[in-house]
Amino acid sequence: MPRLEAVILPLAALIAGLAVFSLFLIGLGKSPLTFFALVYKAGFGTGFSWQNTLSRVAPLLFAGLCVALPARLGLVVIGGEGAIALGGLAAAVTGVWCGALPGALGLMLMASAAFCVGGAWIGTVGFLRIRRGVNETIASLLMSYIAIALMNHLVEGAFRDPASLNKPSTAPLPAALRVGDMPIGIEVHWGLGIGVLCCVLCWVLLDRTTIGFAARVAGDNIRAAQVQALPVGRLITGFTALGGAMAGLAGYFEVTAIHGAANASLVAGYGFTGILVAFLARHNPLAIIPVAILLAGFQASSGLIQRRMDLPDATILVMQGIVFVTLLLSETLYGRLRLFRPDRWEQRA
Using CB under 8 A as the criterion, which residues of the chain lie in contact with other proteins when the complex forms?
76, 78, 128, 130-135, 137-139, 141-143, 145-146, 149-150, 152-153, 156-157, 272, 275-276, 279, 311-322, 324-325, 327-329, 331-334
Q: Considering the complex, state which of residue 210 and residue 332 has its C-beta at the smaller distance from other proteins.
A: 332
Q: Is 288 helix (H, G, I), strand (E, B) or coil?
A: helix
Q: Considering the complex, state which of residue 142 and residue 211 has its C-beta at the smaller distance from other proteins.
A: 142
In the complex, least distance from residue 313 CB atom to other proteins, rounded to whole angstroms: 8
**Dihedral class, residue 275 (left if φ above 0, else alpha if ψ from -120 to 50, else beta):** alpha
Q: Considering the complex, state which of residue 76 and residue 176 has its C-beta at the smaller distance from other proteins.
A: 76
In the complex, least distance from residue 5 CB atom to other proteins, rounded to whole angstroms: 13
Helices (H) and strands (E) in the chain, counts: 15, 0
110 close to 98: Cβ distance less than 8 angstroms: yes
In the complex, least distance from residue 177 CB atom to other proteins, rounded to whole angstroms: 26
Query: In terms of Cα–Cα distance, which of 19, 72, 336 is closest to 207?
Result: 72
Distance CA 91, CA 114 (A): 5
In the complex, least distance from residue 158 CB atom to other proteins, rounded to whole angstroms: 10
Q: Give the torsion sign (CA, 166, 168, 125, 290).
A: positive
Q: Considering the complex, state which of residue 49 and residue 302 has its C-beta at the smaller distance from other proteins.
A: 302
Q: Considering the complex, state which of residue 53 and residue 315 has its C-beta at the smaller distance from other proteins.
A: 315
In the complex, least distance from residue 20 CB atom to other proteins, rounded to whole angstroms: 11
Distance CA 134, CA 141 (A): 12
Half-sphere exposure of 240 (CA within 13 A, CB side): 27
Q: Considering the complex, state which of residue 92 and residue 277 has its C-beta at the smaller distance from other proteins.
A: 277
In the complex, least distance from residue 127 CB atom to other proteins, rounded to whole angstroms: 10
199 close to 288: Cβ distance less than 8 angstroms: yes
Q: Considering the complex, state which of residue 256 and residue 302 has its C-beta at the smaller distance from other proteins.
A: 302
In the complex, least distance from residue 172 CB atom to other proteins, rounded to whole angstroms: 22
241 close to 123: Cβ distance less than 8 angstroms: yes
DSSP state of 171: P
